[in-house]
Chains A and B, each alone.
Chain A
Amino acid sequence: MKNPDLSVKIGKLKLKNPVMVASGTFGYAEEFSGLVGLHKLGAVVSKTITLKGRPGNTLPRTCETPAGMLNSIGLENPGINKFIKEKLPVLRRAKAPIIVSIASENDPQEFVVLANELEKIRDVAAIELNISCPNVKTQKSLISQDPEATFQVVKAVRKVSTKTLITKLSPNVTDITQIALAAQNAGSDAVSLINTLLGMSIDVKARKPKIASITAGLSGPAIRPIAVRMVWEAFQKIKIPIIGMGGIIDASSALEFFLAGASAVAVGTANFIDPKISNTIIEGIRSYLKENRVSHLEDIVGALKA
């Protein structure tokens, strides 16, 4: 059988394969150069960028949990201007499509300002709206915990941006489909599912939280069943493509997401464990399609036999 077609379309963006690296887990790509074929990646998603720079949260910011990890980085980033001047040129060297993740700190209008800044930059292939970071303390609740707030933010950005828009949702909600629908109805081209789950871990000897901010975001294989379930639920309700993530560590775990309805996937925590894993996963997906005589990846999207 000839090589299966792994390409996917997300909004206006055509990717040569469906494997991206998730925001915040891949630095600005240069940290991984030499350890993985960066140009082979479907896309690279930047660390989330805010309007002004953020120093990030106090330490400790990470700890390991059973089959997972907690993090509370607090969106440490240099701010949009420095990002464009200093980090974007670095990201370009990866020679993979660049998706820039953005977030507001206080006022959702900041999304509009950020999207405007990125509008002029041709090789920003898409924008991911991170309305779901659990580690910013100035926010009482997440935008992505409210369908109306989600709708307003996406709609406001849609008005000013011609780029492919991806809305990243939080699993810390009762019904993810409502939020996914709101994003779709406001003009989002795709949704990313899921950001980290809010969690907590305690050092019983010291009676202290293991993370300074007490609560933090849980990622890794521990959250995969929840992520797959949410992708499956959203797939029943929305028409726009889903980018699935949460605990992907090999081709088989990535394939779970496609079968549940994801058109593309992102690898997060697993990059820390095996920096070349995203490349390995691309090859693994290719082999699976060949073995199962599937000519287009899209033929297995949502192909769960249930």
Chain B
Amino acid sequence: MGKTIYQEKTRILSKQKLASNFFLLKIASKKIAANSAPGQFVQIRVQDSVVPLLRRPLGVHRIEKNNFEVLFQVVGKATEMLAQKNSGDYLDVIGPLGNGFNLQKRGEIILVAGGMGVAPLVFLAEKLKKSVDPKSKIQKIALIGAKTKTQILCETEFKKSGFEVRVSTDDGSKGAKGYVSDLLKQVLRTTHFALRPNIFACGPRPMLKEIAKLSKEFGIPAQVSLEEHMACGIGACLGCAVETSKGFKRVCKDGPVFQAEEVIW
């Protein structure tokens, strides 16, 4: 994994509105596209002003040759401003940042995405499609959970990458009713895995905590991508600490991906 971090003025190539307040930006950057690994993120300065003051972290969602994409939900002022941008606008971006998922594992693959957790997992799915021999028939499952039907994103992307997709919604408007961690539990209970499966998860902390429990219960290793409020995003301010069995670690620099068992939940 390339450890070099770049700061660049990048150009927005396209903007797409996916659902009511979900947006996809395609951004030109050869360097970030060439050096990013699934699970890594970028720090975006949405505007050259003091409000908002700090950059905002967004996961690398997909990469193409010279471009990368971010997928985000409008939740506050910075994401609102970002949603107002148009193709041709410039963004000051730092990345790629952090440590991504470890893809050296063999065996079945289970992706678990909660809410915006789909963002980095699509990149992971597309990377795995390339690295896993298509004839190997290794089972690949993607579980997507969201509050409601309209917020279930990226189903086609996972399918295109050879994943069997299952969905859950909190309100039952699509797929299984309940949390995606419940869906995972059901899958683990009912599926026979010939090899040794691995879980890769991204989503809100309570969901990841549940997954950590299931990982322990079923003896299946899980890698989880954590979120924490970030100021610098490069490991300098110590604002994003997470307690692990090896002491406090920085989500932005030592993570955002951690082994589930390593985190003190």
- Given A68-B53, A221-B50: A59 and B232 interface contact (C-beta under 8 Å): no
Residues in A with CB closer than 8 Å to B233 are 272
Neighbour of B239 across the interface among A32, A61, A67, CB < 8 A: A61
Residue numbers in B under 8 Å from A59 (CB-CB): 228-229, 241-242
Give bound CA distance, A63 to B54, whole Å: 10
Minimum CB–CB distance from B73 to chain A (whole Å) comes to 17
Q: How far is the CA of A26 from the CA of B236 in the complex (A)?
A: 5
B residues in contact with A66, CB < 8 Å: 51
Q: Does A275 make an interface contact (CB < 8 A)?
A: yes
Answer whether A275 and B253 are a contact pair too, CB < 8 Å, given A59-B228, A61-B239, A64-B53.
no
A275 to chain B, nearest CB (A): 6
A221 to B48, CA, bound (A): 13
**Alpha-carbon separation in the docked complex, A69 to B230 (Å):** 11
Indicate if B165 sits at the interface (CB-CB under 8 A): no
Looking at B55, B239, B240, B247, the one whose CB has the most chain A CB atoms below 10 A away is B239
| A76 touches which of B4, B51, B238, B242 (Cβ 8 Å) | B238
CA distance A24 to B239 in the complex (A): 10
Question: Is A55 engaged at the interface, CB distance under 8 Å to the other chain?
Answer: yes
What total of chain A residues lie within 8 Å of the partner, measured CB to CB? 34
**75-112 of chain B: CB within 8 A of chain A:** 92, 94
Q: What is the total number of residues of chain B having a CB less than 8 Å from a CB of chain A?
A: 30
- Whether A271 contacts B236 in the complex (CB less than 8 A), given A55-B248, A64-B52, A68-B53, comes out as yes
Q: Which residues of A contact B51 (CB under 8 A)?
A: 66-67
B7 at the interface (CB under 8 A from A): yes
Shortest CB-to-CB span from B124 to chain A, Å, is 26
Cβ A25 vs Cβ B236 within 8 A: yes
- Which residues in window 209-265 of B have CB below 8 A to A? 228-242, 247-248, 253
Is B45 positioned at the interface, with any CB of A under 8 Å from its CB?
yes
How far is it, in angstroms, between the C-alpha of A61 and the C-alpha of B237 when the chains are bound? Answer: 10
Query: Which residues of chain A from 248 to 276 have any CB-CB distance to chain B below 8 Å in the complex?
Result: 249, 269, 271-276
Mask for A35-63, Cβ within 8 A of B = 1, else 0? 10000000000010000000110011111
CB pair A67 B235 closer than 8 Å: no
Which residues from chain A contact B238 at a C-beta distance below 8 Å?
24, 27, 47, 56, 61, 73, 76
Q: Does B176 lie at the interface of the complex (its beta carbon under 8 Å from any beta carbon of A)? A: no
Evaluate contact between A67 and B53: CB separation under 8 angstroms: yes
B53, A220: Cβ atoms closer than 8 Å: yes
> In the bound complex, do residue B55 and residue A60 qualify as a contact, i.e. CB atoms below 8 Å apart?
no
A64-B54 in contact given A27-B237, A35-B5, A56-B238 (Cβ < 8 Å): yes
- A33 → chain B closest CB, angstroms: 9
* CB atoms of B94 and A62 under 8 A apart: no
B237 adjacent to A275 (CB under 8 Å): no
Contact pick for B231, options A31, A34, A62, A221, CB 8 Å: A62
B55–A61 CB distance below 8 A: no
**B234 touching A55, Cβ below 8 Å:** no
Min Cβ gap B35→A in Å is 12
Shortest distance between the CB of B74 and any CB in chain A (Å): 16
Shortest A256–chain B CB gap in Å is 15
A76 touches B248 (CB 8 A): yes
A24 to B232, CA, bound (A): 11
A272 is contacted by which of B5, B236, B241 (Cβ under 8 Å)?
Answer: B236
Tell me if A62 and B236 are in contact (CB < 8 A): no
With contacts A55-B248, A71-B231, A276-B7 taken as known, whether A32 is within 8 angstroms of B54 at the C-beta atoms is no
A272 and B248: CB pair below 8 A? no
Nearest chain B CB to A60 CB, angstrom units? 5
Which residues from chain B contact A61 at a C-beta distance below 8 Å?
A: 229, 238-241
Q: How far is the CA of A294 from the CA of B241 in the complex (A)?
A: 46
B105 nearest CB across to chain A (Å)? 29
Distance from A120 Cβ to chain B, minimum over Cβ atoms (Å): 27
* Whole-angstrom distance between the Cβ of B94 and the nearest chain A Cβ: 7
The answer to whether B234 and A32 have CB atoms under 8 Å apart is yes
State the Cβ distance, A269 to closest chain B Cβ, in Å.
Answer: 8
Distance in angstroms between the alpha carbons of A64 and B52 in the assembled complex? 8
- Minimal beta-carbon separation of A54 from chain B (angstroms): 10
Q: Given A68-B53, A73-B239, A249-B50, decide whether A63 and B229 contact each other with a Cβ distance below 8 A.
A: yes
Whether A27 and B53, one on each chain, are in contact in the complex, defined by CB atoms closer than 8 angstroms, is no
Of residues 114 to 165 in A, which have CB atoms within 8 Å of B's CB atoms? none
Q: Pick the residue among B5, B54, B236 that contacts A273 (CB under 8 A).
A: B54
B235 pairs with A27, CB closer than 8 A = yes
Q: Specify the chain B residue showing the minimal Cβ separation from A35.
A: B7
When the two chains form their complex, are residues B232 and A271 in contact, meaning their CB atoms are under 8 A apart?
yes
Instruction: Pick the residue among A34, A55, A68, A71 that contacts B237 (CB under 8 A).
Output: A71
Nearest 3 pairs of A and B residues by beta carbon: A27-B236, A62-B239, A272-B232
Known: A25-B236, A62-B231. 7 other contacts (CB 8 A): A24-B237, A34-B5, A62-B229, A62-B230, A69-B54, A271-B236, A273-B54
**Interface of A toward B, CB cutoff 8 Å:** 24-27, 31-32, 34-35, 47, 55-56, 59-64, 66-69, 71, 73, 76, 220-221, 249, 269, 271-276
Selected A-B contacts with CB under 8 Å, 7 pairs = A31-B234, A35-B5, A35-B94, A59-B228, A62-B230, A67-B50, A68-B53
Question: Which B residues lie at the A interface, using CB under 8 A?
Answer: 4-5, 7, 45, 50-55, 92, 94, 228-242, 247-248, 253
